[in-house]
Structure 1
Amino acid sequence: MKRSVLLLSAGHSCVDVYQGAVPAIVPFLVSERHYDYAAASAVVLAATLLSSVVQPVFGLLTDRWRMPWLIPVAMLLAGFGIAAAGTSGDRMAVWTLVALSGLGVAAYHPASARLARTVTRGDHTAMSWFSLGGNVGFAVAPLLVTPLLAAGGLGATPWLAVPAVAGVLMTVPVTRTPAPARGASGASQGRDDWGMFARLSLVVTFRAVAFFGVSTLLAVVAKQRMDGGSAAGAAALFLLFGGGAVGTVLGGRLAGRYGRVRCARAAYALAVPSVAGVAFLPGPLLLLGVAATAACLFVPFSLQVTLGQDYLPGRVGTAGGVTLGLAVSVGGVVSPALGALADATSPSTALVPVIAAPALAWTVARTLREPEPIETAASSRPAEAPA
């Protein structure tokens, strides 16, 4: 299992490089293509809007049919869109290519979340390592994109196709994992609790608004407050994504002791002052707010994936697609509004309304209950009598 989890995590990292690459590209669109904040934020919207719309469709498809080929195809599409985006000076072409990359990300997450549940058999720590891969991809993205584009400009984006190819090579062997038997992990026929799942989706959406709000504006805010140029922006984004990686693993460990719902509630409560720190702390103190925000927003990340699957034991692919992909992508919808507010006021001022997002996530999380894991429910059901 360990080898399969490691390969899945590495593949997840390669895919989420392309989500993390979008905010890292924004400063170059502003400086090289003279995008205003609203236009640059619309690029983030392009990466998430199509993904948000089609992600439930891919979840339904993976619940109905085994589609192991979808994972490598989705990875290649995610990489192609970003790799080609910088080669065109036409704004509509850039938005279209970034949207295609978002489509690839949308197709990847439901299928990979279902496969990860099968491989890990619902273990919280193992699932946190799978989710960690995505966070590492986010963290590596600015370190990969910023030096590359600083040296070669936006025309160097074709080199960004390399992670997708590497991810395919690592992930394909795991896609051959046999499908679980009826009643086993990922194939439970228990009752779906759509009410609780809807509440969880709302929590994840508020978390996504907070994360996308911070990540979209953070590079510009860090450059202004720390007077460190593009390096300051890249460092702040790396801390946000890298700190998120630490929070993800920590969440998996804490959940085993205190429970998933309880950990999520505490994390969102602490995220409120943390995001406020990003909005208001001056100079290098900004990084303290960024580190705290990263930890608080990512502790619940992998926990929400297994919570969703346990709320919908009969639709594991759909649940994984929504909690790992759709609700995350919805957060990007607010980016243009925040960009417009930044143009009208300042990037720091535009972060102020983002503080409400974790507060709303905490409020809804208080209504969640801890579900019985799929594997426990399956093992507790009496075996079927032989015919």
Structure 2
Amino acid sequence: MSSATVKSSVLGNPVYPIMLLIGVSHLLNDTLQAVVPAMFPVLKSETGISFTQLGWLSFALNMVASVFQPIVGLISDRKPKPYALPIGMCLSLIGIAGLAFMHNYWMLLVSVIFLGMGSAIFHPEGSRVSFMAAGSKRGLSQSVYQVGGNTGQALAPLISAFVLVPFGQIGAAWFLIVASVGIFTLSKISVWYKKQLEIEKEARRKNPILSSLSKLTKKKIAYALVILMLIIFARSFYVTSITNFFVFHLTDQYGLTIKNAQLFIFLFLAVGAVGTFFGGPIADKIGKKNVILLSVLVPLPFALYLPYTSLTLLPIFIIIIGFFIMLSFSVTVVYAQELVPNKIGTMSGFSVGFAFGMGAVGAVVIGSFLDQVGVMTTMTYISYLPILGIIGFLLPKDRKIA
């Protein structure tokens, strides 16, 4: 790639090949993470572990990713590490190998910790690459990046239905190929990343890109971040309940097989990936706060009635909820970055890491509730979570603060 092409992102022209490649890499990374929840039905049937233990596996994966993401982002803001990207994918490869070949519960726990560490390294660095390639298309670039990850997560039920259910735990070994492809792709991206840093160092100092929310006072920034984190908390808890445990509601309430139930989870995640993609470009046109509110208000009545709906209406409810609740996923990341424009990696790690952390806590809490009060009661409680997102009305209007 020529110097002119690399410099064009600073001047406002997006670097689409890199934008696409980092999105594909995000897909590969999150596909590996998706193996963990995809294994839940198999692990429960083959090992007899409890819902709570499954919750702890999800907790370990997401909490490690949550805790380390802001740390990696902070380090990256001070001194970017281009080759951290393939190194992180190597850790994920180790984790997948453990999931495929280890049968002891504690070794499985260690394996998901490796996956969490790999994810923690990838996400802030990947978001930085997305930002560097974005030029003036921050919303679009972040959407391409995040939709890659959400698409990878959407593969979890298909992985369960068509790989792990037929082949069992050993079927996870197929994803060593995915990890290897990821290492190769990220190595190539790292070369561009390093050159971009060398060429853009002075240009980025003279041409700051993020500015739309930078005139807020520190108190208002902190206030906005608290509101944003509460919205992410509600969304993460709710999405975790659907992706990790709604399959048990489907088998209990409608008598579906695990394979057929997983197809509904795939539908939720697939339309969520579509929503993630459109969220960024829509925010570029109507503003980030408006997209966040749209993401909260539209799915709310459908989420409240989801546990009670008929099998006929279920796909419609899942499509509406999945699309709109994920519409704000990339938007909240960009919003956080614009709140603190000189800390791109830190804010990316903070917002996405917080989402991972809340997903981790949610998995344990929801798993515990399932063991104690049953599936239907738990899903009923969870249906009220999106109500919390209404506090999005209190966010600063991003297009009026400049």
Shared fold (TM-score greater than 0.5)? yes
Alpha-carbon distance in structure 2 between the residues aligned to 1:299 and 1:113: 18
Counterpart mapping for 1:258-337 below 5 A: 258-337=286-365
**1:362 and 2:390 equivalent?**
yes
**1:247 and 2:253 equivalent?**
no
Identity %: 23
Alpha-carbon distance in structure 1 between the residues aligned to 2:160 and 2:86: 22
- Which of 103, 109, 131 is the equivalent residue of 1:89? 103
- Which of 162, 187, 191 is the equivalent residue of 1:172? 187
Given the two structures, how large is their TM-score scaled by the length of structure 1?
0.90
Contact kept in structure 1, 2:23 and 2:145, CA below 8 Å: yes
Cα offsets for 1:344-371 (capped at 9, x unmatched)? 23223212222232211222x1111133
Aligned match of 1:57: 71
Alpha-carbon distance in structure 1 between the residues aligned to 2:384 and 2:26: 30
Alpha-carbon distance in structure 2 between the residues aligned to 1:24 and 1:259: 35
Aligned match of 1:47: 61
Alpha-carbon distance in structure 2 between the residues aligned to 1:220 and 1:295: 22
Offset at 1:83?
Answer: 3.3
Alpha-carbon distance in structure 1 between the residues aligned to 2:308 and 2:58: 24
SS in 1 for 2:332: helix
Q: CA RMSD in A?
A: 2.3
Alpha-carbon distance in structure 2 between the residues aligned to 1:12 and 1:183: 30
Alpha-carbon distance in structure 2 between the residues aligned to 1:148 and 1:100: 22
Q: 1:72 to 1:284 in 2, by over 3 A?
A: farther
Q: 1:307 to 1:236 in 2, by over 3 A?
A: same
**1:132 and 2:147 equivalent?**
yes
SS in 1 for 2:205: coil
Counterpart amino acid of residue 308 in structure 1: A
Alpha-carbon distance in structure 2 between the residues aligned to 1:210 and 1:54: 23
Structure 1, 7-16 or 326-335: larger mean CA deviation: 326-335
Offset at 1:111?
Answer: 1.0
Cα offsets for 1:106-131 (capped at 9, x unmatched)? 11111111111111125112321111
Structure 1, 291-300 or 8-17: larger mean CA deviation: 291-300
Contact kept in structure 1, 2:63 and 2:356, CA below 8 Å: no
Aligned match of 1:207: 235
User: What stretches of structure 2 of length at least 5 have no aligned partner?
Assistant: 1-14
Structure 1, 305-314 or 37-46: larger mean CA deviation: 37-46
Cα offsets for 1:164-215 (capped at 9, x unmatched)? 2212222332332312421445688956633323322222122111111221
Q: 1:146 to 1:372 in 2, by over 3 A?
A: same
Contact kept in structure 2, 1:131 and 1:248, CA below 8 Å: yes
Q: 1:187 to 1:264 in 2, by over 3 A?
A: closer
Given the two structures, how large is their TM-score scaled by the length of structure 2?
0.86
Aligned match of 1:156: 171
Q: 1:194 to 1:315 in 2, by over 3 A?
A: farther
Offset at 1:155?
Answer: 2.2
Alpha-carbon distance in structure 1 between the residues aligned to 2:296 and 2:225: 18
**1:182 and 2:197 equivalent?**
no
Alpha-carbon distance in structure 2 between the residues aligned to 1:140 and 1:337: 24
Offset at 1:141?
Answer: 2.9
Aligned match of 2:8: none
SS in 1 for 2:394: coil
Counterpart amino acid of residue 151 in structure 2: V
Alpha-carbon distance in structure 1 between the residues aligned to 2:48 and 2:312: 27
Q: How many residues align?
A: 374
Contact kept in structure 2, 1:86 and 1:154, CA below 8 Å: yes
